[in-house]
Structure 1
Amino acid sequence: MLQNGRKLSARGPFWRFPIVWMLVGAIGIVLIDTLFRQLTERVDGLISLALTLVMGLLAIMVYKFTLTYLARRSTPEIARQRAGIEAVLGMLTGTIFIAGSVLIIMALGGYSFQWASSANAGSVLILSIEAALGAAIVEELIFRGLMFQAIDRLGGKPLALAVTSLFFGVAHLGNTGATLWSAFAIALEAGVLLGAAFLWRRNLWFAMGLHFAWNAIEGLLGFPVSGHSAAGLFTVELNGAALLTGGDFGLEGSIVPVVASLLISIPMLIGAARYRRVEARNLPVSK
């Protein structure tokens, strides 16, 4: 009994090592996402959306289990308190960001829209919400939840922001129409912005809401979402250079949202740094 107890005790530090629990949690979330993707492909409409919601709940449970029992730490970033308002604030931020970027490109002559008369508005709405919701939950749990916090433990927040942003861009290199530029753009406009949002609000709900609104609005407008084609409510005509319009990759390949995201990210990062300084000053001094 004593020998077995020592073996179990020796395994503790292994599971608590940041890269270990990051990988275990990410694999668990990816497996759940993969399983439910296969299920949702066999149904449609509200049933498919309901399955996506179940997938999201299970992914959050895997995340909490991983951090609680392997990393041995609390999970205030997914606390239910203020979850709703933080998600809504994130969705509002994402809506302003995407709508503002589209309007700027339209004013520069890059986009023109026509109503897609053949589109079923109800189906398009459900599909856009379903795809955006699944991506927002899974990607934020893995990148801002697991990876960011694991690297933060090893090298601090600046390194965590840089590494997660880089990996987020690289993860989109295999998408349709992707180029080195589009990967770099994703790293800046999505990786940095979502990382800054997480640091600023200190929870995942805000980042998930921002990510959800971003993808959902792109899909509804008829843009490819990170290169993935979307049956939107409109057909989009591109006019001008791909650097302005994003080309085949979609809005995210445009220079406009890259600049806009940095203008939003910088105040968020400044706010997060100020909060950390105040928090550090208020820490009790050990004697």
Structure 2
Amino acid sequence: MATDIGGLDIGDRRFLHPGPLRWLRSVGWMVLLFLVFTGIYGGVQFLPKSTPLDALKVLAACVAGFAVYAGAVRLAEGRWPPELKLSDAPLDLLVGAAVGALIMALVIAALCLIGVYRISGPHGGSPWQMLNIAIQSGMMEELVFRAILMRLLMRAFGVWPALIAQAALFGAAHLANPGATVVSSVAIMIEAGFLLAAFYLLSNRLWMSVGLHAAWNFAQGWLWGASVSGTPRTPSLFISEPKPGAPEFLSGGAFGPEASLPCMIVGTLVAALVLWMAWKKGNFKARPDATV
């Protein structure tokens, strides 16, 4: 059924309508959105991040980015994005945040138990800088990698190719980080790229992945005071770091816990479990945008 918005017949002008070369139209639309929203994310990263007011500004900028995405999807695809369904956001965010914080607690505990990490503190460092980083990375990276890349790759090629491709791209995106190696990027791909996508597939919404991503980074960076994806430490409650001489494949080295063997094991096990739940739910056949 056609829908008129501002004189445009959206029902007839949907860019991803069924028909010849829909895969190519999906990929083209994906590339355009990717370029636009990585640009927006780059702008958000330049905002100051030291105070509670800064946190509100970062949150407002990310919310504005989500609103631009919703508007673009409405105009080009003829639908309001169910992947951003607001009524489910509070519970999804809480569940995702709980899982992200728990995973990081298990990883830090494992690193200490096998004797490659040490923890000092508490130090009482301000949480605002890490909170701002967690908000922007949790919201904007999930929008780019899951709502844009994964969703449209699913539309073009199906679930499995999309799942693998977005995880590989997510890992590759961390190669430019300080201390990054091929091993650390493969670790990010496996433990985080698949894990975050698994929660997106399970719910067909973005919010669990946003909560998990943000809480993972916040717990790692502020609560435990470890390096987050190789970036310099921010003020933190505790300080966690590899012991001198600890093997990098066990400790993660300068890149931080995300490149460690315990993180790969825990993240991969949780990802496999959630992917199995999504498969049992039938979401490996369904599309988050199946109403289009």
TM bracket, shorter-chain basis: 0.7 to 0.9
User: Does 2:241 align with 1:233?
Assistant: no
Q: Equivalent of 1:223, from 219, 226, 232?
A: 226
Counterpart amino acid of residue 265 in structure 2: V
Distance in 1 (CA, whole Å) between partners of 2:33 and 2:284 is 32
Is the CA contact 1:144–1:164 (under 8 Å) kept in the aligned structure 2? yes
Partner of 1:283: none
Q: Against the structure 1 CA distance between its residues 88 and 14, is the aligned structure 2 distance closer, same or farther, given a 3 Å change threshold?
A: closer
Is the CA contact 1:36–1:51 (under 8 Å) kept in the aligned structure 2? no
| CA displacement at 1:266 relative to structure 2 | 1.4
Counterpart amino acid of residue 235 in structure 1: I
Partner of 1:18: 26
Q: Against the structure 1 CA distance between its residues 97 and 44, is the aligned structure 2 distance closer, same or farther, given a 3 Å change threshold?
A: closer
User: Does 2:36 align with 1:34?
Assistant: no
Q: Equivalent of 1:187, from 186, 189, 195?
A: 189
| CA displacement at 1:234 relative to structure 2 | 2.6
User: Does 2:88 align with 1:82?
Assistant: yes
Q: What RMSD in Å do the two structures reach over aligned CA positions? A: 2.5
Comparing 27-36 with 251-260, which one deviates more in the overlay? 27-36
Distance in 1 (CA, whole Å) between partners of 2:88 and 2:117 is 38
Q: TM (normalized to structure 2)?
A: 0.85
Distance in 2 (CA, whole Å) between partners of 1:9 and 1:112 is 59
Distance in 2 (CA, whole Å) between partners of 1:270 and 1:36 is 35
Partner of 1:285: none
Distance in 2 (CA, whole Å) between partners of 1:253 and 1:129 is 22
Is the CA contact 1:29–1:62 (under 8 Å) kept in the aligned structure 2? no
| More helix per residue | 1
User: Does 2:61 align with 1:55?
Assistant: yes
| CA displacement at 1:111 relative to structure 2 | 1.0
SS of the counterpart of 1:136?
helix
Gaps of 5+ in 1: 281-287
- The equivalences for 1:25-174 within 5 A come to 25-38=33-46, 40-41=47-48, 44-115=50-121, 117=123, 121=125, 123=126, 125-174=127-176
Comparing 261-270 with 185-194, which one deviates more in the overlay? 261-270
Q: Percent identity?
A: 28
Q: Against the structure 1 CA distance between its residues 174 and 70, is the aligned structure 2 distance closer, same or farther, given a 3 Å change threshold?
A: same
Distance in 1 (CA, whole Å) between partners of 2:232 and 2:284 is 45
